[in-house]
Structure 1
Amino acid sequence: MMDARETARAIWQAGVDAVGGYTATQAALGDLPKPDRILAVGKAAGAMAQAALDQFSGVPCLVVTKDGHGDGLPDDVHLIEASHPVPDARSLEGGRALREAVEAMGSDTHLLLLVSGGASSLAEDLMPGKTLDDLAALNRQLLSTGLDIGAMNAERRKISRIKGGGLLSGFSGTRADVLAISDVPGDDLMVIGSGIGALPDAPAFDAQARIIASNAHARAAAVQAAQGAGFDVLANEEALHNDLPTLATTLGPRLRDMPRGAMIFGGEPTVVLPENPGRGGRNQALALALAREIAGCDGLTLVVGGTDGTDGPTESAGGIVHGGIWGDGAAEALAAADSGSYLEQMDALLNTGPTGTNVMDLLVAIRR
C-alpha cells in the first residue's frame, strides 16, 4: 500500500498525464489533412510536435520551447530552445524564425500551429525600436508585481510583432489549424502565449482554433484518480487565482477542517517578490505557506505543483507537505521568497522533470 505522500503524488500525476502534450495532440488531430508545415511553440511544444510528426511524417517542423523540453525530437526538426520565465537572445531567434516560417508559406498551403503556455517568454519578435533589454526588463517587472497572467500578457502584446494575432497575420495560405493547450483562466487564445496563436481579425484563409487540454481536464482526471484510490472528492475547483497570502489564509481553514477525502484545486497564484528573491516559485511558496496553515494536523498531505514540471526559475515543480513540515527557519524562508531552499532541507520538493504539458497549477490534498 502506498503511503500518503506517494498516494497524493500519484493523484497529482494522473491529472498531469491526462493533459500531456502528446496525448492531447494525438487525440485532436483526428482526420485533419496533412499540413505543409508544422510550427510548435511553448513549454509543451516538443511533445505536441512529436504527436503531429508521428501522424504526418516528412512535414517540415519548427519547435520553439524551453531549455531541455525538446529532448528526443527527430534530428530533422528545427529546434530552438530558449529561456523562461525571462526571455533571452534565443527568444528573439525563435520568434523571428516563427514569423519567417509563416511568411514563407505560399498560397494554397496548410499550416498546423501548436501552441502552449510559456510562449510569452520563449518566442518574441519585437516592434521596431525595442530591444532584448527592454523585453527582459518588462518581464522581470511583470513577474514581480503580482499581476495575473491576463494583465501581464496584455502588456507583452504591446511591444510584439507576433503576439495578439500578429503571427498569423503574415500567413498567405489557404488553411491554418491552431491546437492549443491552455495555461490561462478562461482558455482565451488571446491570452495563451500572449496570443501567439490567436487568429487575426477577418482572416483571409480558412481557420480553426481549438483548446485541446486545460486545467479543467487535469482536475477531472485527478478527481477520477482520487475516487479510484478510495477517496470521496470534497472539492474540485479552479480556486487558485489569487495572491499567495490570501490563498493561504482562505484555503488553510478548509484544509485543516476537511474530513477524510480529497480536495482538488487548480489555477495560478500571483506573488509579489522581494528585491532579492531566493530560490523557489509560486508553487513552492504556496506549499510552504499552506504547511504553516496545516501545522500539527494529522493525516493531511498536500501536493502543489506546476503542471509543466517547473516552478519559476527552478527545476522543481512545487512541494509535497504535511502537518510536520513547518518548523524553524520556515517563516524566514517564506518571507525571503526562498521556499525552495527550505523545502529541499525537509525533503519536500516535488521534482518531475519536464512533463510535456502546461495547464497552470494543480493542488491535491488528501486526508486519511
Structure 2
Amino acid sequence: MNDTTIHPFSAGPHPGTPADWSDERARTALRRILDAAIHSAMPDRVLARYLPGRPKGRCVVVGAGKAAASMAAALERAWPDVEMNGCVVTRDGHATPTQRIRVLEAAHPVPDARSVAAGRAMMAAVSGLGPDDLIIALISGGGSALLELPRPGVTLDDLRGINRALLHSGASIRDMNVVRRHLSAIKGGGLAMAARPAPVVTLAISDVPGDDLLTIASGPTVEDPTTPADARAILAHYGIALPEAARMVLEQDAAPTVLSPANRATLIATPLMALEAASCTARACGLTPLILGDALEGESREAGTLMAGIALSARLHDLPVAGPAVLLSGGETTVSINPAGPAPGRGGRNTEFLLSMACTLQGAAGIWAIAADSDGIDGTEDAAGAIITPDTLARARAAGCDPRATLRAHDSYTLFRQTGDLVMTGPTLTNVNDIRAVLVL
C-alpha cells in the first residue's frame, strides 16, 4: 500500500454546492480517506510500540491471518537482535519476505489441507517450551480458515462443508466462529493450551465488530467461555445440518479452556482507530467527519438502503451533520445466498452495499460513497470495493446493466466493472474490516 500524502482542498466560496465539488474532486477525497484508514493499520506503523520485554529464554513466533506475514516482518524489524523462530500462516498472495519466521500460505475463506498443515506446524512450534520462554502470537482477521486442526473424528471435508454453509447463511462472523471453535482443536485457546507453561503474548489486529479477541481468527490463544450447546443452537437457527462425526463432537461436553495468568493479549489496530485516521484526513480535505460506528452489521443491501436514507437527511436537512461532510462507518455486513435459488453472480458485501445504496438514492445530487474491505479483497473478488456517484445508475444503464436485476442476482462486481468504478488496491497486508465513507454536500 503506497503512503498517500494528503493535500488540503480549498473550500471555495460555496463549499456545499455540487458545482464546487467536481466528480474528480469527490472521488479523490474518498480514495484519500480510504487510504488513510488502511495505512493507519499497517503493522510497520503500530506493532513495535506494543512489544513486551525481551524474553530470558527462547522467542517463538506463531500467527494466523491476512496480516500475519506483514506482522511477522514488522516484528523482525523491531527486534533485529533477538533470536526467534516459528511460523505464521496467511492467505495466498498475502505473503511478505521474512528472515527468521517462516511464512506459510493457505486457502480463504474455506480451509484446505495447507490450513491443517499450518495448525500442526504451530502446535509443534509451541510444544516443549518453559516458563522463561516467550511465545508471540500475531493474530488478524482471516485466521479462522487459514489455521485449522479438526477435532478427532471430524474431517477436513466436514469442516469445509460447514464453512461453506455458514458463509452462505448470513450468519455473523461471531456466530460462525463459535461453531468453528468447537469443531477445532487449535481454536478457542487450543494453541495457548498446547504452549503451557510458556507465556503467550498475543498482538492482534481486529477485523470484527466489537473487537472481540475470541472472534478474531477464532481466538487460538484466548479463553473460550462458550459451549458446544451454543454451537448447536447457532447451527439450528440457520438450518445447517451436520455430518455425523461433527454432530457427535458437538454433543460432547467440552472442558473449559484455562490459560496461564501470565498470558496477555493486546489490540494493536482496530476499525475505530482506522476510522479516526480517516476522520483526520476528511478534515484535511475540507469535510466535516461524522463517525456513525465501527461495528455496523446486517444484510448488505439493507445497510445500503439505511445509509442512503442517512445521506439524504444530511443533504436535505443538515441532519445528522451539515455538508460538506463525510459519514464514516466500519464493521462487516453479510450477503445471504438462497441455496435453493439461482447461482449468484460476482460480488462482495461492499459492492452489494453500494449498489443497494445507489438504487435507493436514484441519482440524488451531491452524494458520493466509497466502501471497501481494508484487506484489499471484497469477499473472494480481486477488488477491494467500489465507488458510487450521482450518475452511477445512468452510467450502468448506458453500459447495458439493469441495476435492480443485478442487485437481485448478487452480481454487483460485474456492474461496477462495467462502469469502471471498482476500487483495486491489491492485498494491503492488514485487515481492520470494511471502511465506508459517504460524502455529502
Q: TM-score range by the shorter chain?
A: over 0.9
* Aligned match for 1:284, one of 318, 341, 351: 351
Report the CA distance between 1:100 and its aligned residue.
1.5
Report the CA distance between 1:31 and its aligned residue.
4.6
1:244 paired to 2:300? yes
1:261 paired to 2:325? yes
Report the CA distance between 1:90 and its aligned residue.
1.0
Mapping of residues 1-368 of structure 1, within 5 Å: 3-29=25-51, 31-33=53-55, 36-57=59-80, 58-74=83-99, 76-199=100-223, 201-204=257-260, 206-238=262-294, 240-258=296-314, 259-275=323-339, 276-326=343-393, 327=397, 328-368=401-441
Q: Is the 8 A contact 1:119 1:196 kept in 2?
A: no
1:79-137 Cα shifts (integer Å, max 9, x gaps): 21111111111111111111121124345311111100101111100001111111111
User: Separation in 1 of the partners of 2:260 and 2:334?
Assistant: 38
* SS of residue matched to 1:238: strand
Identical-pair percentage: 36
Whose Rg is larger? 2
User: Separation in 1 of the partners of 2:50 and 2:406?
Assistant: 43
Q: Is the 8 A contact 1:43 1:356 kept in 2?
A: yes
Letter in 2 for 1:117: G
Q: Is the 8 A contact 1:295 1:322 kept in 2?
A: no
Letter in 2 for 1:130: V
Give the length in aligned residue pairs. Answer: 367
Structure 2: 5+ residue stretches without partners? 1-8, 10-23, 225-256, 315-322
Higher mean C-alpha displacement, 31-40 vs 244-253: 31-40
Higher mean C-alpha displacement, 285-294 vs 153-162: 285-294
Q: Is the 8 A contact 2:370 2:438 kept in 1?
A: yes
User: Separation in 2 of the partners of 1:98 and 1:130?
Assistant: 19
Structure 1: 5+ residue stretches without partners? none
User: Separation in 1 of the partners of 2:133 and 2:291?
Assistant: 47
Report the CA distance between 1:236 and its aligned residue.
3.5
Report the CA distance between 1:245 and its aligned residue.
3.0
User: Separation in 2 of the partners of 1:94 and 1:109?
Assistant: 21
Report the CA distance between 1:40 and its aligned residue.
2.1
TM-score, length basis structure 2: 0.79
TM-score, length basis structure 1: 0.94
Q: Is the 8 A contact 1:44 1:357 kept in 2?
A: yes
* SS of residue matched to 2:126: helix
Structure 1 residues 12 and 204, CA, compared in 2 at 3 Å: closer, same or farther?
A: closer
1:22-54 Cα shifts (integer Å, max 9, x gaps): 322122226554861111210110111111111
Q: Is the 8 A contact 1:244 1:286 kept in 2?
A: yes
Q: Counterpart in 1 of 2:317?
A: none
Q: Is the 8 A contact 2:373 2:433 kept in 1?
A: yes
User: Separation in 1 of the partners of 2:375 and 2:389?
Assistant: 23
User: Separation in 2 of the partners of 1:49 and 1:350?
Assistant: 27
Q: Is the 8 A contact 2:279 2:290 kept in 1?
A: no
User: Separation in 2 of the partners of 1:110 and 1:31?
Assistant: 10
